[in-house]
Amino acid sequence: MKIAILALQGAFAEHEQMFRNLGAETTLIRNLADWRNFMSSPSGGMRGGTIPGGESTAMMRIMRDEGLFEPIRRAILDGLPAFGTCAGLIMLDRNHLNVMDIKARRNAYGRQLGSFNTEGDFVGIGQVPMTFIRAPYIEEAGPEVEILARVDGKAVAARQKNMLVTAFHPELTDDTSVHELFLGMVTKCHVPV
């Protein structure tokens, strides 16, 4: 199983560590050559990609500068399992990569609640610790989107086909359950991409 982690900026190292601890092979993607190597390397069809937290405006700009925007968008639309956390959630929404039928509200918790920890119920998992850092929430979701968790009534985790997003940072806790859920999606998808 091979997991590519977009490493243009932000919290990619924590995802790398988490996936390695779970026994997945990881590749950091910094440019188009990294991406092409990842997509052409044998994986037995078990491949997935992660977009970490960070700053979505910067990530978006670097992604375009590196020529990564279209190839990554195409791969996800073709079925590559994709996992986005925080800024990664924003990147998958209608206004960015436009692969997932969600609209993210950026920096949605205001100054007072810029960063906080809580715990919440996650569909199919149970209680998970949730670390929010200047996080978005999902303010609109289309009919194909399944909301997996809410905090104060706001959607903070969701799934649509091959895509999984969380507004919080599971990679910053020692709870591996959300990463395991994603690896389960990668195993089931088996897309020959």
Query: Residue 130, interface with ligand GLN (CB under 6 A)?
Result: no
Q: How far apart are CA 187 and CA 34, in angstroms?
A: 22
**Considering the complex, what minimum distance in angstroms separates the CB of residue 175 from ligand GLN?**
17
| 167 Cβ contact list (under 8 Å, min separation 6) | 85, 86, 89, 104, 108, 132, 135, 136, 137, 138, 156, 157
In this chain, which of 106, 120, 139, 154 binds ligand GLN, going by CB under 6 A?
106
CA angle 56, 61, 67 (to 5 degrees): 120
Q: How far apart are CA 4 and CA 18, in angstroms?
A: 13
Query: Residue 170, interface with ligand GLN (CB under 6 A)?
Result: no
Query: Residue 37, interface with ligand GLN (CB under 6 A)?
Result: no
Query: Residue 50, interface with ligand GLN (CB under 6 A)?
Result: no
> Would you name the residues annotated as active-site residues?
86, 169, 171
Report whether 96 contacts 56 (CB < 8 A). yes
Query: Residue 56, interface with ligand GLN (CB under 6 A)?
Result: yes
**Considering the complex, what minimum distance in angstroms separates the CB of residue 187 from ligand GLN?**
27
Query: Residue 49, interface with ligand GLN (CB under 6 A)?
Result: no
Sites of contact with ligand GLN (CB under 6 A): 53-56, 86-87, 90, 106-107, 133-135
